[in-house]
């Protein structure tokens, strides 16, 4: 091979190398696309929502033919309060030709969630009606279906959705939906009682196992039904039995017990049951005080004092906890600076308050399903310290 031919071949090789470099520079970088997608997920989990959305936008731009980055971007937008743009994105995605059934199902479900956030319940229902024909097993579908029925005000249909989900989802999620169904029905029963519909409350209670994880709550609702139906003695029996089996639920059961006793005047019938409940390690200090107060009511102060003396080594028996009983004792003392200060400190107790742990919404009464954010079993006693945002 001559020098001239070698030079020509070398020049061609250099030219081809340059062309190859240019093509590689223009081609979308698959690893960069993957990095943006993964980075977006990491940023979202880390709490940096704006940066997560921007990273997912770059992932979409790098691979406009992909579906997953679009779906994730739509989810981010909706969770960030922009359900309208998420819906527009998912509608455009649904119009793509050639998508397989799995992708179309995912897109339709995402769009239904967007429509739920926008309060467009009829449109969401139409989408979910079509998806339900395929007997979906994903918990996301049943959450969206439940919320759609709630939005349309059909609580019976919402309850049926939770019950059906127990049969449809995989074994790992069945218990969660069963508990949600029971909590939802319990909360509806409470609302029925507040609306003087005790018969409806009794019907709703049939969906909740009396010996299950919410047995104390069932007892609470049943006692309230008896109270409202003019059966205070029966209400007291139910409440005290509930305390015997779940003394840690005294925050819930003691108020209805006290109301029952006030209406019936039969304090002595409850004392043996409360004495048994107080033997449990789970019994809170408020239950001991309740027992001491009952002894005081029937004229046996010596026994009342013995109850509290028997708990003197327990750090839970604080001055604040014992205040209701101590207030009675100081009433026997002549007027003094001490009693006046005590009254000033302890008679200004506000109404019972509750709040949702998830959203911070305040309530005057207990709930087991938050009316504000639809969280299950997140309402706690006392005022909210801070408002929890998503």
Residue 122 lies in a domain: yes
pLDDT of residue 258: 77
pLDDT of residue 150: 96
Residue 37: closest CA among 6, 66, 2, 10: 66
pLDDT in tens, 281-306: 788 887 778 888 878 877 888 888 88
Residues 6 or more apart from 73 whose CB is under 8 A from it? 53, 56, 57, 59, 60, 89
Residue 221: closest CA among 250, 262, 265, 253: 253
pLDDT of residue 21: 40
Residue recorded with tokens 């439940």: 146
Residue 39 lies in a domain: yes
| 13-19 long-range contacts, CB within 8 A, separation 24+ | none
CATH number for the domain spanning 89: value is: 1.25.40.10
Residue 106 lies in a domain: yes
Residue 105: closest CA among 77, 78, 71: 71
Q: Which of the listed residues 115, 134, 153 is the one where a domain comes to its end?
A: 134
pLDDT of residue 196: 94
Residue 358 lies in a domain: yes
Q: Per the structure, how many domains does the chain have?
A: 2
Q: Which of the listed residues 134, 161, 188 is the one where a domain comes to its end?
A: 134
Q: Rounded distance, CA 93 to CA 139, Å?
A: 22
Residue 324 lies in a domain: no
Residue 70 lies in a domain: yes
Q: Rounded distance, CA 328 to CA 324, Å?
A: 7
Residues 126-160 as b or e (16 or more Cβ within 10 Å = b): ebbeebeeeebebbebbbbbbbbbbbeeebeebbe
Can you give the residue range of the structural domain that contains 63? 32-134
pLDDT in tens, 115-127: 999 999 999 999 9
Q: Which of the listed residues 109, 134, 159 is the one where a domain comes to its end?
A: 134
Tell me how far CA of residue 299 lies from CA of 219, 270, 296, in angstroms: 29, 15, 5
What is the secondary structure of 45-64 as a DSSP string? HTT-HHHHHHHHHHHHHH-T
Residue 323 lies in a domain: no
Residue segments in the chain with a per-residue pLDDT below the cut of 50: 1-10, 12-32, 348-351, 387-390
CB contact at 8 A, 144 and 127? no
Q: Rounded distance, CA 291 to CA 355, Å?
A: 28
CB contact at 8 A, 388 and 362? no
Residue 296 lies in a domain: no
Q: Rounded distance, CA 104 to CA 154, Å?
A: 28
Total-model pTM: 0.75
């Amino acid at each position: 091979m001559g020098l001239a031919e070698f030079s020509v071949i070398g020049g061609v090789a250099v030219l081809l190398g340059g062309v190859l470099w240019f093509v590689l520079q223009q081609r979308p970088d698959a690893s960069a696309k993957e990095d943006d997608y993964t980075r977006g997920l990491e940023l979202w989990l880390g709490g940096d929502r704006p940066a997560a959305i921007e990273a997912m936008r770059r992932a979409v731009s790098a691979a406009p033919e992909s579906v997953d980055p679009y779906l994730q971007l739509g989810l981010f937008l909706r969770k960030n309060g922009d359900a309208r743009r998420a819906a527009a994105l998912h509608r455009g995605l649904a119009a793509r030709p050639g998508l397989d059934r799995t992708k179309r199902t995912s897109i339709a479900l995402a769009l239904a969630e967007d429509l739920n956030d926008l309060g467009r319940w009829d449109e969401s229902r139409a989408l979910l009606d079509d998806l339900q024909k395929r007997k979906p097993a994903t918990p996301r579908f049943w959450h969206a279906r439940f919320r759609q029925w709630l939005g349309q005000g059909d609580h019976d249909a919402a309850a049926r959705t939770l019950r059906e989900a127990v049969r449809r989802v995989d074994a790992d999620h069945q218990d969660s939906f069963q508990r949600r169904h029971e909590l939802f029905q319990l909360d509806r029963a409470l609302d029925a009682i507040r609306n003087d519909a005790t018969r409806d409350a009794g019907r709703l209670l049939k969906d909740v196992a009396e010996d299950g994880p919410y047995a104390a709550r069932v007892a609470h609702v049943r006692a309230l039904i008896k109270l409202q139906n003019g059966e205070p003695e029966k209400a007291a029996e139910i409440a005290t039995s509930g305390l015997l089996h779940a003394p840690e639920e005294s925050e819930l059961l003691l108020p209805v017990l006290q109301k029952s006793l006030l209406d019936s005047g039969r304090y002595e019938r409850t004392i043996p049951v409360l004495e048994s409940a107080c033997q449990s390690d789970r019994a809170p200090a408020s239950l001991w005080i309740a027992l001491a107060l009952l002894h005081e009511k029937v004229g046996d102060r010596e026994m009342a004092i013995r109850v509290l003396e028997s708990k003197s080594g327990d750090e839970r028996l604080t001055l604040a906890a014992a205040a209701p009983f101590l207030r009675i004792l100081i009433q026997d003392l002549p007027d003094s600076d001490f009693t006046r200060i005590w009254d000033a400190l302890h008679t200004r107790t506000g109404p019972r308050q509750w709040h949702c742990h998830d959203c911070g919404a305040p309530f005057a009464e207990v709930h087991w399903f938050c009316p504000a954010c639809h969280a299950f079993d997140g309402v706690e006693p006392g005022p909210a310290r801070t408002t929890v945002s998503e």
